Structures are given as C-alpha cells and as structure tokens.
Amino acid sequence: MIEIKNIKKSFGDKIIIDDISAVMEAGKCNLIIGASGSGKTVLTKCMVGLFHPDSGEILYSGESFGAMDDEHRKMLRQQIGMLFQGSALFDSMTVEQNVMFPLEMFSRDNYKTRKKRVDEVLARVELKDAHKKFPAEISGGMKKRVGIARSIVLNPKYLFCDEPNSGLDPQTSLVIDKLIKELTNEFNTTTIVVTHDMNSVMEIGDHIVYLYQGKKEWEGSNKEIIFSKSDKLNKFIFASEFLQDAKDMRMLEMKGKIDNDRNMEDLLNSPGSLMDNLEK
C-alpha cells in the first residue's frame, strides 16, 4: 500500500498540489483521474521521488519515502516500475536494448540470464518479432507494450503508468488496459494508472482518486463512481450529453420511476432533460 499524506507542491507561487491525502491499495489497479493540468503527473512524480513535495509524506508499506536513508531508498526505487507519458523509449536503441536497460543498470545477472528475462517479458506483452526493431519502426500500441515490458522487467512491486492510452485508438487502448490489469493480478503489484480515459476507469479502476485543480475531489471504487454526488466529478465523467442521458435513465430505472419496457426514445425525445421532466 502507498499512503499519500497531506502532500503540497508549488512551482513558484502557483500551487499545483494542494494538500492531497489518498491511498493506493496493494495488489489493485489504482487510478488517478482528472482533467488535463489538474496535477496528476506532478502528484505521481512526487510519489516516485522525481519531485520533492514542499510538505507531507509518502509512505510505502508504512515507511516514509522522504525519511529513508539513501541505501533503503535505492532499494525501494528498484521496486518501482514506471511507464512514462509517451512511453519515453530510447530512440537510438532497439526494442530489446530498451527493455534490457534497467537490467544493465540494476541487475548483477550475466548476459544470458538478462537476455532470457528480456525475452520473457517481451513474450508476456506479446511482442515476439520486434526485438531488433527501433522505436520509430513500430506502432504506437507496440511502443506502449515495449514501455510496459521495460517497466516490469525488474519485477516491480509498484507499477506506475502515466496516461498509458494517450494517442491510441479505443481498441488498442482496451488491450493495453487489460494487459495492465492482468499484470497487476498476476504479480500482485500495486499499480497506479494516471488517465483521463473514462473507459479505463470503468474497465480497470479498482480504486479511483479524482483530482480537480490540484485538490482531491473524490476517492472511491468504479462501482461507486457513477453515483457520486460531486458535481465536478459528474461533469468530468458525463462530459457528453449522451452519457448524461444514459445516466439519468439509469437513475430513474433504479428509483423505479421508469420501467425497462417503456420506450426510452419517448423519454429522450421529450423536450427538456429527463431530470427536468421528472421534477414536474
């Protein structure tokens, strides 16, 4: 489990993270969601130590990241896998060399063992014939897979993925989401996915933290999220009118105010929104 306690971070006089406390549950897919610029990446970077928070604490399994000695922190860092926004592959290295990189940095295994591990993770993300290719020669979805392979090559206990779906088509997004979810279950990692993709939220979000302008506005599960009472969150989730109507119908159905057999088209085509009609 990772506990975020009263984290604050400013750049200049601009407050970016405003006193956020939240929990990332062990062995689950934890999602940090929010509009662009709401502070998701900055918060994530505070969690992995790429930014120093101005105040507050990050606890990994109860131990404060900031208060650890260097040796201890180095050990923890090796347990953290990170898929950066945009994959951040080394363009001048082949797929295989990219995935090998963390092993060369941190493992004392010989080449043969390292190579075996690289083959293993590339097979796990279903990339079998891309070993010798360069990032520029493969598709966006494949790049993400390489990024994921690289982030899991050291068997991390904690896996961070910043916008794993950005730039991907909806189908490929789903495949990548499912892969992240499977890996989380398979290796019991504590996974943190930063996203603004509602499909991901519903598909893989065991535990969700919603940020609004640097503050935590809501925290809960994907079962609870569509019933949240936060206006800001609802505006974020139901950004399209289509979804808003779908939600209204679901609510009415649950309250027993409409039944399933009734022609929904009538309701949708009637003037004003569903809720307005109901108020009358």
Ligand X SMILES: Nc1ncnc2c1ncn2[C@@H]1O[C@H](COP(=O)(O)OP(=O)(O)O)[C@@H](O)[C@H]1O
The residues of the shown chain that bind ligand X, judged by CB under 6 A, are 11, 16, 34, 36-42
CA–CA distance, 118 with 127 (Å, rounded to integer): 11
Buried b (16+ CB within 10 A) or exposed e, 72-107: eeeebbebbbbbbeebebeeeebbbbbbbbbbeeee
Question: Which residue has tokens 């505070």?
Answer: 46
From the list ligand X, Mg ion, none, partner contacted by residue 38 (C-beta under 5 to 8 A by kind):
ligand X
Q: How far is the CB of 151 from Mg ion (least distance, A)?
A: 16
C-beta of 39 vs 53, nearer to ligand X: 39
From the list ligand X, Mg ion, none, partner contacted by residue 98 (C-beta under 5 to 8 A by kind):
none
Taking contact as CB under 5 A, which single stretch among the options 38-46, 124-132, 176-184, 216-224 is the one that binds Mg ion? 38-46
Contact in structure between 21 and 6 (CB atoms under 8 Å): yes
The answer to whether 87 contacts Mg ion (rule: CB under 5 A) is no
Contact in structure between 86 and 98 (CB atoms under 8 Å): no
Taking residue 3's Cβ as centre, other Cβ atoms within 10 Å add up to: 15
The answer to whether 195 contacts Mg ion (rule: CB under 5 A) is no
> What are φ and ψ of residue 3, in 5° steps?
-110, 130
Taking contact as CB under 5 A, which single stretch among the options 34-42, 70-78, 86-94, 234-242 is the one that binds Mg ion? 34-42
**Residues near Mg ion (CB under 5 A), total:** 1
Closest Cα partner for 159 from 22, 26, 23?
A: 26
From the list Mg ion, ligand X, none, partner contacted by residue 90 (C-beta under 5 to 8 A by kind):
none
Residue closest to Mg ion, measured at CB = 41
Q: How far is the CB of 217 from ligand X (least distance, A)?
A: 13
Q: How far is the CB of 7 from ligand X (least distance, A)?
A: 12
The answer to whether 191 contacts Mg ion (rule: CB under 5 A) is no
Contact in structure between 236 and 34 (CB atoms under 8 Å): yes
CA–CA distance, 181 with 174 (Å, rounded to integer): 10
* 277-243-29 Cα angle (round to 5): 135
The answer to whether 41 contacts Mg ion (rule: CB under 5 A) is yes
Q: How far is the CB of 194 from Mg ion (least distance, A)?
A: 6
> What are φ and ψ of residue 13, in 5° steps?
-100, 15
Taking contact as CB under 5 A, which single stretch among the options 39-47, 104-112, 145-153, 173-181 is the one that binds Mg ion? 39-47
Q: How far is the CB of 246 from Mg ion (least distance, A)?
A: 28
Question: Which residue has tokens 């549950």?
Answer: 25
Residue at 18: amino acid letter: D
Considering just the CA atoms, what is the radius of gyration of the chain in Å? Answer: 21
C-beta of 201 vs 252, nearer to Mg ion: 201
From the list Mg ion, ligand X, none, partner contacted by residue 269 (C-beta under 5 to 8 A by kind):
none
C-beta of 41 vs 173, nearer to Mg ion: 41
C-beta of 20 vs 204, nearer to ligand X: 20
Q: How far is the CB of 34 from ligand X (least distance, A)?
A: 6
Q: How far is CA 166 from CA 92, 196, 224, in A?
A: 22, 9, 25
- Catalog residues that contact Mg ion under the rule CB under 5 A: 41
